[in-house]
């Protein structure tokens, strides 16, 4: 596995080694010893699986303490643009975002640490998105920021190559802009 770090400290893109032959392929998606060497938590408490149509935009979500979550995410069918926003107060990258493409083809895995709002846009129908989390889901501690916050400038429209409308939940339409978000995360 290759672990790619970013100028925004925390998130990590994991490129697994894929062994393929006439039978298909094999890859390791998680190995405690390797992840611990890379300072990525190896204790996960819940696995989740979502399926989405093309144009579904989920985000930007996070859980606050004491149920903050790190997420290990990947796509097993289809393709997404996965986006994280640094919401750690005092971070030199507060309010900055980064994106990665996760797909059935590239088989990449993305580590999203606590203190980052997370979301994704599906680029293909029947996209299956898997994620392991370090804390169980706790609805009372789930919060979010607006996916279309102009202060963030995330170019969602450029990733959906036509004039399709996004499919966004009512809840995600009602989250606050970053300027009104009171982050409990400290850098």
User: Where do the domains of the chain lie?
Assistant: 44-180
> What's the CA gap between 138 and 119, in Å, rounded?
17
In our burial notation (b when 16+ CB lie closer than 10 A, e otherwise), range 11-33 reads bbbbebeeeeeeeeeeeeebeee
pLDDT in tens, 79-93: 999 999 999 999 999
Residue 131 annotated in active site: yes
pLDDT > 90? residue 166? yes
pLDDT band at 163 (very low <50, low <70, confident <90, very high): confident
Per-residue pLDDT tens over the stretch 68-125: 999 999 999 999 999 999 999 999 999 999 999 999 999 999 999 999 999 999 999 9
Percent of the chain with pLDDT over 70: 100
* 10 pLDDT above the threshold of 90: yes
Mean pLDDT over each residue of the chain, to the nearest integer: 97
Q: How far apart are CA 8 and CA 93, in angstroms?
A: 6
- Nearest Cα residue to 74 out of 104, 28, 109, 117: 109
Over residues 45-67, the pLDDT tens digits come to 999 999 999 999 999 999 999 99
Q: Domain 44-180 maps to which CATH number in 3.30.420.40, 1.20.1090.10, 2.60.120.10, 2.40.50.140?
A: 2.60.120.10
Single out the catalytic residue among 61, 94, 118, 137: 61
Please state, in angstroms and as integers, the Cα–Cα distance from residue 156 to each residue in 68, 69, 72, 150, following that order. 26, 24, 22, 11
At residue 164, the pLDDT reads: 87
Told to judge if 137 belongs to the known catalytic residues of this protein, a careful annotator would answer no
**Kind and range of the H or E run holding 159:** helix 156-159
High-pLDDT (> 90) share of the chain, %: 97
Can you list the positions of beta strands (E) in 53-175?
Answer: 57-63, 71-77, 79-86, 97-103, 109-112, 116-122, 127-133, 142-144
In angstroms, the Cα distances linking 165 to 4, 157, 160 are: 32, 9, 9
Pick the catalytic residue: 49, 67, 94, 131? 131
pLDDT at 161 over 90: no
């Amino acid at each position: 596995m290759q672990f790619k770090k970013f100028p925004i400290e925390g998130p990590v893109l994991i490129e697994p080694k894929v062994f393929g032959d006439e039978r298909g392929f094999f890859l390791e998606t998680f190995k405690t010893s390797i992840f611990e060497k890379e300072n990525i938590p190896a204790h996960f408490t819940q696995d989740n699986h979502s399926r989405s149509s093309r144009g579904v935009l989920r985000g930007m979500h996070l859980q606050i303490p004491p149920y903050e979550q790190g997420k290990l995410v990947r796509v097993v069918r289809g393709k997404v643009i996965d986006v994280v926003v640094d919401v750690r107060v005092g971070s030199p990258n507060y309010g900055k975002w980064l994106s990665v493409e996760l797909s059935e083809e590239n088989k990449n895995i993305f580590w999203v640490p606590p203190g980052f709002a997370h979301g994704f846009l599906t680029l293909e129908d029947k996209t299956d998105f898997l994620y392991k989390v370090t804390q169980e889901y706790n609805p009372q501690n789930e919060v979010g920021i607006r996916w279309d916050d102009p202060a963030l400038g995330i170019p969602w429209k450029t990733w959906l190559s036509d004039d399709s409308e996004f499919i966004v939940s009512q809840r995600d339409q009602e989250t606050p802009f970053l300027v009104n978000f009171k982050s409990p995360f400290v850098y």
